[in-house]
Structure 1
């Protein structure tokens, strides 16, 4: 499902009955007790070849970041910076609302075979069951993403070849994209990446952004998150809902970067390296080449 129609979450609240409103209020105020955050990454390929599409990876210790990424499409490092992690000294350049940041650096080993997307997923095969209160949260999140400048959001409740997710073209979704030609030194991971005029133009006028993947370049991506607090397992600052405990809806979430290979079961056109290529229909086959899964379970 993909729609550019503006959503008014305020109006959605009026459509709920008293029981649904009470349920939403209870979800907002609940403070369950949890165990430790469990974080896993896609297991790198030892040979640098294709990696099987799977939700099972390698558990990591966040204090030992960065971690290797290696598969048939991309090779490099992924660095996870979390504000409230014990021992953290990274200041997020003084941006106090930023809860965590992910930096990715490496090289594409071949041209992508389809559009590249960045998505927040629920790592499950079955379709997600949507309750009345959750509909409010989803509509509010969609509206928030649109106001933050994310264009052409692809959303699915899963089933029939898709996992439940909300995503958009990756090169539009990343806060920073640094392209370093051969012979030059890419920026070091673990340090603040300055916002450049090219980042502003890429986010504001994405479909005028002219760039094709070059396997000789080193790519550095950065994504900051101000809404999902994985250590407290809450989403905060969302219109209407304001904040809610993620455990009410799922035990795990996954951030994934993938190339979409089929729409509605049919192969997508070759993007020929164009990073603005899109796939608007069901993403029924894909190659997830970078992912981070976070899980939180009750003690």
Structure 2
């Protein structure tokens, strides 16, 4: 079973239920918002709610949606990623070689991807600049209600041409 958690600025964690119908609220030092993790069901019968809204006619396997606001103007690059919070990976020489080869292959598609198998001072993690990790972004002006997470309105708003321009900037 996939166990995903958000980590707050105080170090507290909240479970992020996969394919939940309601987003999970979270807060860090820089951001306050809510998130949904939607994983493709094996068939439309298994989860018709999300299959029809997110995956029908698409090849994507999962969708992570995050909505919120920055508490202050960010400086520098904003990263998105994940950390494996478990006992250190016990990979042998062959295992590490295979994982690092896989990471190199992935970096041919996502050049700014940073990966680590962990060490004495860090957990295993994968991060990338948010702009390169996102398939699309919706910026809602002040005073305008943002589309609901998990809704049809929140998908495919950015045109393919606009997405290519953003990703190549």
Q: TM-score, normalised by structure 1?
A: 0.46
Mapped to 2, the partners of 1:94 and 1:145 lie a distance apart of 28
The answer to whether the 8 A contact 1:76-1:105 is kept is yes
Matched, 1:178 2:138: yes
Mapped to 2, the partners of 1:69 and 1:162 lie a distance apart of 23
The answer to whether the 8 A contact 1:128-1:157 is kept is no
Change (3 A) 1:195 1:106: same
Unaligned runs of 5+ in 2: none
Question: For residue 194 of structure 1, what is the aligned residue in structure 2?
Answer: 157
Question: For residue 114 of structure 2, what is the aligned residue in structure 1?
Answer: 154
3-state secondary structure, aligned to 1:103: strand
Aligned mate of 1:169, from 124, 129, 133: 129
Mapping for residues 258-277 of structure 1, pairs under 5 Å = none
The answer to whether the 8 A contact 2:138-2:158 is kept is no
3-state secondary structure, aligned to 2:166: helix
Question: For residue 10 of structure 2, what is the aligned residue in structure 1?
Answer: 51
Change (3 A) 1:97 1:141: farther
Unaligned runs of 5+ in 1: 1-36, 45-49, 206-299
Larger relative contact order, structure 1 or 2 (CA cutoff 8 Å, min sep 6) = 1
Matched, 1:70 2:27: yes
Whose Rg is larger? Answer: 1
The answer to whether the 8 A contact 1:121-1:163 is kept is yes
Across the aligned residues of Structure 1 and Structure 2, the Cα RMSD in angstroms comes to 2.9
Higher strand share: 1
Question: For residue 104 of structure 1, what is the aligned residue in structure 2?
Answer: 66
Q: TM-score, normalised by structure 2?
A: 0.74
Mapped to 2, the partners of 1:93 and 1:126 lie a distance apart of 34
3-state secondary structure, aligned to 1:180: coil
Mapped to 2, the partners of 1:164 and 1:40 lie a distance apart of 15
**Where do 4+ consecutive residues of structure 1 move more than 6 Å?**
none
Question: For residue 41 of structure 1, what is the aligned residue in structure 2?
Answer: 5
Change (3 A) 1:175 1:128: farther
The answer to whether the 8 A contact 2:31-2:71 is kept is yes
3-state secondary structure, aligned to 1:135: helix
Shift in Å, 1:167: 1.9
Higher helix share: 2
